[in-house]
């Protein structure tokens, strides 16, 4: 059976390949939008297709609906296979490097003739990339950082929570001491109370994200900076343990904490509930779909309340019945309470 995850991965792969082959931006965006729609569903896409048809979903035009129907029915997509035949298979491996997207991969392929990670590494280390048209110095710097990080990325074993707690406390205390930081907290599996932790996610509310991330990268606990962007800095600290620091606006702090704390299954269920209530939920906030007005985002409590739920403790956010148990009352019209049961939402 084709799962929602299978559909999401297929749509994203199609979008990546279209971008690499130079397809127009609107077509690429359409596939990415469709992937997001599937990610936000609270039930199997196959069930919706059988019951209502795919065209009832926002973001699904006739062309994409036809292709997804083929995928659901056969487990394969001819259009994807045609695209894959046009592109060296090793190019997508470059896409998987941290911080490297299909647009950069397309430049490497078309302008520098690079099709493998080994070729990229050789060109980056030798300085040959500097002469590549439309490939700026910052992009080359990111590529080198991604190559440096790839052997470590995802390879570190999970560590016992008790082993990580002192590091988490030291880093959070150091960031809280920054005048630009207004709120600081650890999210992820650490906040959910898991016995083992794969990495640390620190969320910082600030009006000066660049200053916060520069200061974070310079902390004495940091052994190596993997990547630093406008809103995120990834480092190794504590004997190679990965820590991601995310800088967000104050009005986004609650939504970022919710997004980066909940398990994937919990977040998918919550986004599905939001959609059925005429809203969309992501790490930036909870927004009405019809006019894009922010409904909540500054606090987690505000998000759960707007979704007709009591606040759910982080330790329970695993999609094991906690959302149904937290229902206060359903909300069928945004901003209007009703007495419907949870099953009606």
Q: Stretch 170-198: mean pLDDT, rounded?
A: 94
Q: Positive or negative CA dihedral for 18, 20, 25, 28? A: positive
Query: Which stretches within 161-286 are classed as H helix?
Result: 161-176, 188-191, 209-217, 253-261, 264-276
151-176 pLDDT, tens digit per residue, is 544 445 578 788 889 999 999 999 99
Number of C-beta neighbours around residue 130 at 10 A: 12
**Average model confidence (pLDDT) for the chain?**
86
What confidence score (pLDDT) does residue 149 get?
66
pLDDT confidence of residue 154: 45
- Specify the range with the lowest mean pLDDT, choosing from 166-170, 186-190, 238-242, 318-322: 238-242
Q: Are 102 and 125 in contact (CB under 8 A)?
A: no
**What per-residue confidence (pLDDT) applies to 325?**
92
The number of angstroms, rounded, from the C-alpha of 248 to the middle of its chain's C-alpha atoms is: 14
Residue 216 has pLDDT above 90, yes or no: yes
Return the CATH number of 4-150, one of 3.40.190.10, 3.40.50.300, 1.10.150.110, 3.40.50.720: 1.10.150.110
* Helical (H) or strand (E) element with 216: helix 209-217
Q: Tell me the backbone φ, ψ of residue 206, rounded to 5 degrees.
A: -160, 155
Q: What confidence tens digit (pLDDT) does each residue in 245-271 have?
A: 999 999 999 999 999 999 888 988 899
Nearest-10 crossing angle of helices 62-74, 25-39:
50
Is residue 333 predicted with pLDDT exceeding 80? no
Cα–Cα distance, 40 to 34 (Å, whole number): 10
List the domain boundaries for the chain.
Answer: 4-150, 159-248, 253-344
- Mean pLDDT value of segment 120-131: 86
Share of the chain above pLDDT 70, in %: 92
Judge contact between 194 and 235, C-beta under 8 A.
no
Give CATH for domain 253-344. Answer: 3.30.210.10
Digit-coded pLDDT (tens) for 303-330: 999 999 999 999 999 888 899 999 985 4
pLDDT score of 268: 86
Residue 5: C-alpha distances to residues 40, 45, 285, 294 (Å): 11, 10, 23, 28
In this prediction, residues 273-292 reach a mean pLDDT of 92
Rounded to an integer, the average pLDDT of 99-126 is: 88
Using one digit for the tens of pLDDT, what is the confidence trace for 269-281? 899 999 999 999 9
| CA–CA gap between residue 235 and residue 90 (Å, rounded) | 27
CATH domain 159-248 topology = Beta Polymerase; domain 2 (3.30.460)
Confidence band (pLDDT; 50, 70, 90) for 345?
very low
The separation between the first and the last C-alpha atoms of the chain, rounded to the nearest angstrom, is 27
Give the least confident one: 23-27, 43-47, 153-157: 153-157
């Amino acid at each position: 059976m084709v799962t929602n995850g299978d559909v999401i991965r297929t749509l994203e792969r199609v979008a990546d390949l279209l971008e690499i082959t130079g397809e127009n931006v609107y077509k690429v965006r359409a596939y990415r939008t469709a992937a997001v729609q599937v990610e936000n569903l609270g039930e199997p896409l196959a069930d919706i297709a059988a019951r209502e048809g795919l065209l009832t979903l926002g973001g699904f035009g006739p062309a994409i609906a036809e292709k997804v129907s083929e995928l659901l029915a056969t487990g394969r997509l001819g259009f994807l296979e045609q695209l894959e035949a046009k592109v060296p298979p090793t190019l997508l491996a470059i896409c998987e490097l941290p911080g490297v997207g299909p647009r950069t991969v397309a430049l490497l392929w078309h302008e520098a003739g690079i099709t493998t990670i080994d070729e990229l590494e050789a060109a980056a280390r030798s300085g040959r990339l500097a002469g590549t048209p439309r490939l700026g110095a910052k992009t080359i710097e990111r590529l080198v950082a991604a190559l440096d990080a790839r052997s470590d990325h995802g390879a570190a074993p999970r560590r016992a929570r008790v082993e990580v707690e002192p590091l988490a406390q030291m880093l959070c205390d150091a960031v809280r001491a920054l005048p630009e930081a207004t709120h600081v907290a650890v999210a992820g599996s650490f906040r959910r109370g898991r016995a083992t932790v794969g990495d640390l996610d620190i969320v910082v509310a600030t009006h000066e994200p660049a200053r916060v991330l520069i200061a974070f990268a310079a902390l004495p606990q940091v052994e190596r900076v993997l990547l630093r962007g406008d809103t995120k800095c990834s480092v190794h600290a504590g004997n190679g343990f990965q820590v991601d620091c995310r800088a967000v606006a104050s009005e986004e702090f609650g939504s970022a904490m919710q997004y980066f704390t909940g398990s994937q299954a919990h977040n998918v269920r919550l986004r599905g509930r939001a959609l059925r209530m005429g809203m969309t939920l992501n790490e930036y906030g909870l927004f009405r779909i019809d006019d894009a007005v922010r409904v909540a985002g500054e606090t987690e409590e505000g998000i759960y309340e707007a979704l007709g739920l009591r606040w759910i403790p982080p330790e329970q956010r695993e999609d094991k019945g906690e959302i149904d148990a937290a229902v206060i009352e359903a909300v069928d019209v945004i901003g209007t309470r009703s007495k419907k049961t949870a099953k009606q939402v």
